[in-house]
Amino acid sequence: MAPKKDDIYKESLDYHSKGRPGKLQITPTKPTQTQRDLSLAYSPGVAQPCMEIAKNPKDSYKYTARGNLVAVISNGSAVLGLGNLGATAAKPVMEGKAVLFKRFADIDVFDIEVNTEDPEEFIRCVKLLEPTFGGINLEDIKAPECFQIEQTLKKEMGIPVFHDDQHGTAIISAAALLNALELVGKKINKVRIVFSGGGAAAIACARLYLSLGVKRENVILCDSRGVVYKGRPEGMNEFKEEFAVNGKERTLADAMKGADVFVGLSVKGAVTKDMVKSMAKKPIVFAMANPDPEISYDDAKAARSDIIFATGRSDYPNQVNNVLGFPFIFRGALDTQAHCINEEMKLAAAKALAELARQDVSDVVSKAYGGQTFRFGPEYIIPKPFDPRALTWVAPAVAKAAMESGVARVQLDLDAYAASLEKRLGVRQSFIRSLKDRIHVSTSGPDKRLPRIVFPEGTNDRVLRACDVLLSEEICQPILLGSEKKIVAAAERLGLSSIQPLAQIITPRDSDERQSYASEFYELRKRKGISKEHAFSLMKQENYFGSMMVRRGDADGLLSGATQSYAETIRPFLHTVGARKGMKISGIYMMLFQERILFLADTTVNIEPSASDLADIAICAAEEATFVGIQPKVAMLSFSNFGSNNHPSAQKVREATQMVKQRRPDLIVDGEMQADTAVVPEIVEEVYPFCEIKGAANVLVFPDLQSANICYKLLQRVGGAEAIGPILVGMNKPINVLQRSASVDEIVNMAMFTVLEIQQTSKKNEPLQAKARAAKRKA
């Protein structure tokens, strides 16, 4: 239930006033802890970059924050839907805009409120600020002055100038239009479009739609006086004149008869049910007046059941929200040092957003909207602002358009650029991309074969959606176990067109391999209480069947656990595949934070490990870190620091540390130590300089399962870490277990990790396989 207006107004005032007033602060990006730091940050050291920039002004992008700095500038003459509030009252909005730039695209902003309504004064002020910024975002400036201001500044400044109230709405609604037209099966050059509103946003929308392919003769613009027609004596200006028509229509109601598309940027109540009923078959209505649309969602749906409807509000489907545009458009413009944002860049942004809306929607988005599920269709034609992929889809598209249209001063490698954008989102996004890159390098080539991973829970919706992603990104070849009829029906219900033709589907109960798997399993377990009949019965269970597939080499790896307990999931693996010779099976979680990655062991298997068990666990955990490209620094954890307590549990960890050093002298390992000693480098530097771990440890081996399990769940639920795991180490084959609550993204991540384990296992086996081939040739 939406909060009452009075409640949200009070909450908003508290939000802005409590603690440090406002929403922004400035944070240094360089060290400022010592006198030496300050002498570099300011006098005398700062003189050198000043001299370099004086010789070459372009070096301001190299030595200052200019390349990531945007000015959000307003005079407060058209604040939101509130009218002319003046420059000072506009400041909360400009601060809010700055927050959105930072949150969604990691762009720094100074908000500037200019106390003048004289366009010439405003233009002069902004022009004088050019050396400070990489780009200018104009905001909340009334029409028609905003047209003059933007046109002049774009012409006279050498950095991007963008009036978001015009172009942001145009770009997002253009993306929505492309997708709506695809859904209703109409061609853009045939549709008739009516605009309600003669201001900056409406005219910008009309112009961009023309660039997309709408015919000018199919556009009617209406304002508060009705249709804008040639020769109209009142309420005209040069910008409206651009869209003046010769037709007989004089009112909005006249114009909407038979129209395919309505675009509203005017006032509440401008459109009635009868006007919507008069539109063509399968009408598209974008009622974007704020805060209340030209016609409500309920009234529009009541008038036409075949309608596709969008508004500017978050409480209805298809919100046309400018935050989907300006952060990513400026990101691409800044990173190419484009001298303007041109039509090609705006079109590229609109097309990228339209394409993103057609993709499977991430669970991250679903969680941000209270667990709602979204799928491309009449009620989902635009991506949600919290879709983290928007940055990596839109910014590269804008950058590419800037380079191809000749306005970029810097040429980018787009693949490397996409990777750099994910780093801006934090370590976790960058790490996940690195996994994908390693997989694609290993599976590329003319004779590539994707690793085959068994998913015993083949009828589960999350598993199916994850497999759809894995197929589309060519990460692995899923083998889905379960009733083929149920799997196919679920895939159709979810709109996953790739599952049936591309994924292998096996119903264990009916498989030709069931008997042979049962016979082999009987031989494995006949002295452990398993009869032939029981073995055959077990092979109708997906986890047992899948485990035997991996054992026999009919699959390369397995991933399960989304619908059952950990014990139920792991038991078949232990009975069929088992442990590597001489190793202890254990469970590791990778905890991905914004700035670091930690490996925690053993979180899932060994309740009270011995010193020897802990040594095995530490070595396997270190191997996993190495395996993903991270140099392991292994801390053996206890409540004791380096002999400070002689309790048996501390002695056990001490002994385990020595065992690891003896068995693997190449590893960086030390202990026993407390958790803060392991992760806070200053403690080691100041108190324990003899410790072999310099800098923070990244592999944390706990003294027992209880402490490890508690820690990983606290880090995940309270510390904001993303957990990848449990990763089973010490197994004879690449088999992993999912958390029961695993999201689609988490299943995909675990599948990628399993693929990398498969590839690593294959590399280890290559010498043996080569030896066998050589022996065969010799024979």
The pLDDT, as a whole number, for residue 445 is: 54
Catalytic annotation, pick one of 91, 97, 384, 652: 97
The pLDDT, as a whole number, for residue 48 is: 94
- Residue 47 pLDDT > 90, yes or no? yes
At residue 763 the predicted structure's pLDDT band, cuts being 50, 70 and 90, is: low
Give the sheet arrangement for strand 477-481, strand by strand.
504-506, 477-481, 452-455, 557-560, 735-737
Cα atoms in the 13 Å half-sphere on the side-chain side of 524: 20
- Residue 192 pLDDT > 50, yes or no? yes
At residue 134 the predicted structure's pLDDT band, cuts being 50, 70 and 90, is: very high
**Using an 8 Å Cβ cutoff, are 735 and 751 in contact?**
no
Q: Which residues in 420-430 are b (16+ Cβ under 10 Å) and which e?
A: ebbebbbbbbb
- Residue 502 pLDDT > 90, yes or no? no
Rounded to an integer, what distance in angstroms lies between the CA atom of residue 487 and that of residue 461? 9
> 């028509």: which residue's tokens?
245
Q: Is 406 helix (H, G, I), strand (E, B) or coil?
A: coil
User: Among 361-365, 494-498, 609-613, whose mean pLDDT is lowest?
Assistant: 361-365
613-622 pLDDT per residue, tens: 999 999 999 9
Q: Which one, of 374, 332, 370, 371, lies nearest residue 357 by Cα?
A: 374
Residue 42 catalytic? yes
Helices (H), 106-249: 119-128, 145-156, 164-184, 200-212, 238-241
Helices (H), 295-426: 297-303, 326-335, 343-357, 363-368, 389-404, 414-424
Q: Which letter does DSSP use for residue 130 in this model?
A: G
Rounded to an integer, what distance in angstroms lies between the CA atom of residue 150 and that of residue 341? 12
Once rounded to an integer, what is the mean pLDDT over residues 571-599?
87
Structure-derived torsion over alpha carbons of residues 251, 252, 255, 260, reported in degrees to the nearest 10: 180
Once rounded to an integer, what is the mean pLDDT over residues 690-705?
95
Rounded to an integer, what distance in angstroms lies between the CA atom of residue 45 and that of residue 731? 56
- Residue 1 pLDDT > 50, yes or no? no
SS (H, E, C) 336-356: CCCCCCCHHHHHHHHHHHHHH
Once rounded to an integer, what is the mean pLDDT over residues 283-292?
90
The pLDDT, as a whole number, for residue 731 is: 85
The pLDDT, as a whole number, for residue 608 is: 94
Rounded to an integer, what distance in angstroms lies between the CA atom of residue 124 and that of residue 582? 77
510-547 pLDDT per residue, tens: 999 999 999 999 999 999 999 999 999 999 999 999 99
The pLDDT, as a whole number, for residue 5 is: 53
Highest average pLDDT, of 68-77, 722-731, 748-757, comes from 68-77
Once rounded to an integer, what is the mean pLDDT over residues 709-723?
89
Strands 477-481 and 735-737, by their bridges, are unpaired
628-652 pLDDT per residue, tens: 878 999 999 999 999 999 999 999 9
Rounded to an integer, what distance in angstroms lies between the CA atom of residue 583 and that of residue 597? 25
At residue 765 the predicted structure's pLDDT band, cuts being 50, 70 and 90, is: low
Instruction: Report which residue type is found at 397.
Output: A
Burial of 84 from C-beta contacts in 10 A (0-12 / 13-18 / 19+): middle
At residue 203 the predicted structure's pLDDT band, cuts being 50, 70 and 90, is: very high
- Residue 695 has a CB neighbour count (10 Å cut-off) of 11
At residue 746 the predicted structure's pLDDT band, cuts being 50, 70 and 90, is: confident
Rounded to an integer, what distance in angstroms lies between the CA atom of residue 694 and that of residue 673? 14
The pLDDT, as a whole number, for residue 2 is: 46
71-81 pLDDT per residue, tens: 999 999 988 87
Tell which phi-psi region holds residue 744, choosing left (phi > 0), alpha (psi between -120 and 50) or beta: alpha
The pLDDT, as a whole number, for residue 764 is: 60
Q: Which one, of 330, 141, 144, lies nearest residue 241 by Cα?
A: 144
E strand or H helix that includes residue 575: helix 566-576
The pLDDT, as a whole number, for residue 767 is: 52
The pLDDT, as a whole number, for residue 495 is: 83
* Mean of pLDDT over the chain: 90
At residue 563 the predicted structure's pLDDT band, cuts being 50, 70 and 90, is: very high
228-274 pLDDT per residue, tens: 999 988 888 888 998 999 988 999 999 999 999 999 999 899 999 99
User: Among 151-155, 264-268, 400-404, 453-457, whose mean pLDDT is lowest?
Assistant: 264-268
- Residue 56 pLDDT > 80, yes or no? yes
304-363 pLDDT per residue, tens: 999 999 998 888 889 998 899 999 999 999 999 999 999 999 999 999 999 999 988 877
- Residue 372 pLDDT > 90, yes or no? no
Residue 91 catalytic? no
**Using an 8 Å Cβ cutoff, are 657 and 619 in contact?**
no
Catalytic annotation, pick one of 42, 63, 369, 485: 42
- Residue 682 pLDDT > 50, yes or no? yes
